[in-house]
Structure 1
């Protein structure tokens, strides 16, 4: 047995508070300095696009950001970036929201952010994340206080952006239906989420497993009947 562990050893041991501090996960001065430096770089990048008067990145700043990233402002990855920021207001990014996303993406330069976009898209495309992103896309477009619905024109554009690459046929037919029907002028969140469920659960275009007795939003029952009439 080593001498330091022997019962007969006269060597004085350090108090528990001293010995435990050596193993406590306390950030070193160098790691703190690195973290602050990275945050400073993230903030500097933010101010490059922020409006000097309002202190936030506004629509014009987002246009500049998209230009730097070499992507159109309608690119779905910009919406994904807003989702990652948990941005509360369409077309505006606060510094706190900016920090959330860029810290998670480990991007403190425009080149790093550009390289992070494909990884962000992979993250969002995971089933559990994508459902949350899909719901967020609707809420992000609610620009007025107490607004609960989105007009059909907006819905059609949003569906094409968010679901078009995954459920092309369903989106095309549903958009066609929305543009030709007269009953609905706008869509609410329940109807929006119902269509996502429809895309994931219903065989298309035959829709043999769609049941009018199940709890689908009425607009989807009407869509189902419209599809059947076209197929007849």
Structure 2
């Protein structure tokens, strides 16, 4: 976790910079600037609320907020100081929970991990981290089992957006698997996961 500074004053939000722990002004268009921002807000840079903030700012590149993204995003949030921004972070969680926003955020979370030009898939290690970040709090047992499955199955070394969406579009009751009907057309990855689950439950 980035070091949390004390008794220091950050630059105003509309300047697209913050003050780092050693007193330097750091631009938010750099990973170092994002870490300094997280320290100001009192959250870890791996906190899902930072991902939600990136979604709200419509940030296009992971670990960077452009000046336009920062300023227009804060305007949309209705805040003009870091103290106010800190107070609205919990509200972002409520906003994402709305059905009209959740799918958009869910897809954004995947695309935010596409860090290279023309990249179409995300490696399994990153997918496991993303599953924990986005779904872990609400669906901990399911996510733990899916992550264990993915880490032990060599068939999947990366996921496309289509695979990522499958986890949101198809809901399997857990741990009883009662709503799973093998005669229906489930995505192959879920068929394989259910088979693995049953083998481990027997």
Gaps of 5+ in 1: 1-40
Aligned-pair CA distance for 1:108: 1.1
Q: Deviations over 1:85-120 (max 9, x none)?
A: 111111111111112221121111110100111111
Q: Deviations over 1:122-154 (max 9, x none)?
A: 111222211211111000000011111111110
Describe the SS at the equivalent of 2:17.
Answer: helix
Question: How does the TM-score come out when normalised to structure 2?
Answer: 0.86
How far, CA to CA, are the matches of 1:152 and 1:123 in structure 2?
28
Gaps of 5+ in 2: 1-11
Structure 1 range deviating more: 122-131 or 74-83: 122-131
How far, CA to CA, are the matches of 2:19 and 2:104 in structure 1?
27
Q: 2:173 aligns with which of 198, 203, 214?
A: 203
Q: Deviations over 1:178-197 (max 9, x none)?
A: 01111111111111110122
Equivalent residue, structure 1, for 2:151: 179
How far, CA to CA, are the matches of 1:97 and 1:49 in structure 2?
19
Matched, 1:113 2:85: yes
Number of residue equivalences = 188
How far, CA to CA, are the matches of 1:213 and 1:91 in structure 2?
44
Which structure has the greater CA radius of gyration? 1
Residue 13 of structure 2 contacts residue 82 of structure 2 at CA under 8 Å; is this kept in 1?
Answer: no
Q: Deviations over 1:51-74 (max 9, x none)?
A: 989x75210000000011111100
Residue 194 of structure 1 contacts residue 216 of structure 1 at CA under 8 Å; is this kept in 2?
Answer: no
Describe the SS at the equivalent of 1:209.
Answer: coil
Aligned-pair CA distance for 1:159: 0.5
How far, CA to CA, are the matches of 1:139 and 1:215 in structure 2?
27
Describe the SS at the equivalent of 1:48.
Answer: strand
RMSD of Structure 2 on Structure 1 (CA): 2.1
Alignment of 1:146-185 (within 5 A): 146-185=118-157
